[in-house]
Amino acid sequence: MILLDGKKTSEAIQSEIAAEVAQIKAEGGKAPHLAAILVGNDGGSMTYVNNKVLACERVGFESTLIHYDTEVTEEELLAKIKEINQDDTVDGLIVQLPLPKHINANRVLEVMDYKKDVDGFHPVNVGHMVVGLPSYLPATPYGIMELLDRYKIETKGKHCVVVGRSNIVGLPVSILMSKCTFPGDATVTICHRHTVDLASHTRQADILIVAVGQPLMIKADMVKEGAVVIDVGTTRVPDATRERGWRLRGDVDFDNVASKCSYITPVPGGVGPLTISMLLKNTLRAAKKEVHA
């Protein structure tokens, strides 16, 4: 069994980005600039956004964090997004998800200038991804593809089973895995809450990607011997033995599943860290106008 080391891979990607930024600056260019909007005080979201800002500093990007109370109105949020759309000093913009219930997330994503949508959630970028036009790929699926690529894991003709159909992970990764790219060219099955006999599907997977947010739901008897297992779940579960009172749990019962796998991602230290590095990569591509002219 080989552990897919997301932390190490993420550090390598960030070093590559930092070197490119240093080169841009040395040639008199300006640093890529990411703006991040956070609404509310959810512990996980605050950690992720703070880590994004710190990662920007590490690779030499500019960053701007805009933090609103949970009560911010949709109008106020949309007005800020429109202001950033017009701000030529900002290359990339993200709105941390999830948003409070009173805000329509689809409206928020649609108002964003798709050329600055470095999360790849705007319908224009999603559409471009589906038909193979230049687009920003959502950071987590992009990170999964990068891991498969860097570990040279064969995907062509393999059966890839994706559990979860969210717009952030399950849906885009299933599209990317089915396309005629490397990694890709897989036969893809998408499973979700209405799938009958989930285990009968997961057991057929050469590559199993799980992104549902249900701690430890994938047990050893649901995984084929020799499978590649990618665990996207990062749920905080109460744990009195930890100083902070919780620990992270993936969707996969790692302790019992790992010995059956050819490759597996740990939680933490698997897909999560790559999410941040691929966001940086998209921001660099935005600054270089590599995706949309």
Q: Supply the residues annotated as catalytic.
A: 52, 96, 119
Query: Quick check: 117 binds ligand LMY7XDAE (CB under 6 A)?
Result: no
243 Cβ partners below 8 Å, 6+ apart? Answer: none
2-15 b/e (C-beta count within 10 Å ≥ 16 → b): eebbbeebbeebbe
Kindly list the distances between the CA atom of residue 173 and the CA atoms of 50, 89, 124, 129, 133, in Å, as whole numbers in the listed order: 25, 31, 17, 11, 16
89 is in an annotated binding site: no
Determine the distance from the C-alpha atom of residue 10 to the mean position of all C-alpha atoms in its chain, rounded to a whole number.
Answer: 12
234 is in an annotated binding site: yes
Query: Quick check: 267 binds ligand LMY7XDAE (CB under 6 A)?
Result: yes
CB of 208 to ligand LMY7XDAE, least distance (A): 17
Per-residue mark of binding to Mg ion, 102-141 (x: CB under 5 A): ---x------------------------------------
Residue type, position 216, single letter: L
Cα separation of 208 and 220, whole Å?
A: 12
Instruction: Identify which of residues 264 and 267 has a Cβ nearer to ligand LMY7XDAE in the complex.
Output: 267
164 is in an annotated binding site: yes
Q: Using CB under 6 A, which of the segments 58-66, 109-117, 159-167, 267-275 binds ligand LMY7XDAE?
A: 267-275
Q: Using CB under 6 A, which of the segments 82-90, 94-102, 178-186, 195-203 binds ligand LMY7XDAE?
A: 94-102
Instruction: Identify which of residues 50 and 89 has a Cβ nearer to ligand LMY7XDAE in the complex.
Output: 50
Q: Which DSSP string do the residues of 249-275 spell out, in sequence order?
A: E-SB-HHHHGGG-SEE--SSSSHHHHH
Cα separation of 223 and 199, whole Å?
A: 8
244 is in an annotated binding site: no
Residue type, position 184, single letter: G
Residue 222 per-residue DSSP state: G
Partner that binds at residue 139, options ligand LMY7XDAE, Mg ion, none, CB closer than 5 to 8 Å by kind:
ligand LMY7XDAE
**Peptide bond before 238: cis, by omega within 30 degrees of 0?**
no
> Binding residue for ligand LMY7XDAE (CB under 6 A) from 9, 135, 202, 275?
275
Cα separation of 124 and 173, whole Å?
A: 17
Within 124-183, the residues that bind ligand LMY7XDAE by CB under 6 A are: 139-140, 168
Q: In what order do the strands lie in the sheet with 2-3?
A: 2-3, 263-264, 228-231, 207-210, 159-163, 187-191
Instruction: Report the interface residues with ligand LMY7XDAE, using CB under 6 A.
Output: 47-48, 94-97, 119, 139-140, 168, 234, 248, 267-270, 272-273, 275-276
Instruction: Report the interface residues with Mg ion, using CB under 5 A.
Output: 105
Binding residues for NADP(+): 164-166, 234
Binding residues: 164-166, 234
